[in-house]
């Protein structure tokens, strides 16, 4: 009796079929590379949209709310000279609000998602009864990518 007579045929492995070939491994690496390339390209475009959305959220959300509360407490929005700093630090220059409190949790006015100051003007050119608030967007200059409250 041969030792192979007792081993079922299904358990005998062909050594050539037991491992991946170099061609199969290279094909998998190329496919993974292509998928990563597509993912990176999609993510890069999304970061600009995410920053635009964050700026819009700041302008229409937290800053609008803080400025509204400031106006309720003091009777007017901060002046252009006082700026957004009036939301985190009591203004020293006139008009000094009598019922001032800290309106933002930060210790300095927020920056836009590109790391620049928001541009605040009161009274506004576009909102004469209120204020203008904007970010110049990615390019940092007045252009089509600006985010504003008008």
Q: What is the CATH number of the domain that holds 88?
A: 3.30.700.10
Range of the domain at 117: 55-148
Note whether residue 34 is domain-resident: no
pTM of the model: 0.66
**Predicted pLDDT of residue 122:** 93
Residue 133 maps to a domain: yes
Report the pLDDT value the prediction gives residue 2, as an integer from 0 to 100: 57
Q: Is residue 124 part of a domain?
A: yes
Residue at 37 is within a domain: no
Q: Are 119 and 133 in contact (CB under 8 A)?
A: yes
Kindly list the averaged pLDDT for each block of 10 residues, start to end, along the chain of length 150. Answer: 59 63 84 83 74 89 91 90 92 84 87 92 90 89 84
Residue 4 lies in a domain: no
pLDDT of amino acid 88: 93
Closest CA to 119 of 62, 55, 74: 55
Split into its structural domains, the chain has a count of 1
125 in any annotated domain: yes
Can you give the C-alpha Rg of the chain in angstroms?
31
Which pLDDT does position 66 carry in this prediction? 92
Residue 1 within a domain: no
Q: Is residue 135 part of a domain?
A: yes
């Amino acid at each position: 009796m041969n030792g192979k007579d007792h081993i079922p045929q299904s358990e005998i492995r062909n050594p050539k079929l037991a491992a991946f070939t170099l061609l199969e491994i290279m094909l998998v690496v190329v496919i993974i590379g292509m998928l990563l390339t597509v993912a990176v390209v999609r993510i890069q475009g999304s970061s600009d949209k995410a920053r635009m959305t964050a700026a819009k959220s700041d302008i229409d959300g937290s800053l609008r709310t803080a400025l509204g509360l400031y106006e309720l407490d003091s009777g007017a929005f901060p002046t252009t000279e006082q700026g957004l700093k009036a939301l985190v630090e009591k203004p020293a220059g006139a008009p000094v609000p009598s019922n001032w409190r800290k309106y933002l949790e930060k210790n300095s006015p927020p920056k836009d998602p590109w790391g620049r100051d928001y541009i605040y003007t009161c009274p506004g050119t576009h909102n004469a009864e209120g204020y203008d608030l904007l970010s110049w967007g990615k390019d940092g200059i007045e252009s089509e990518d600006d985010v504003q409250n008008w």
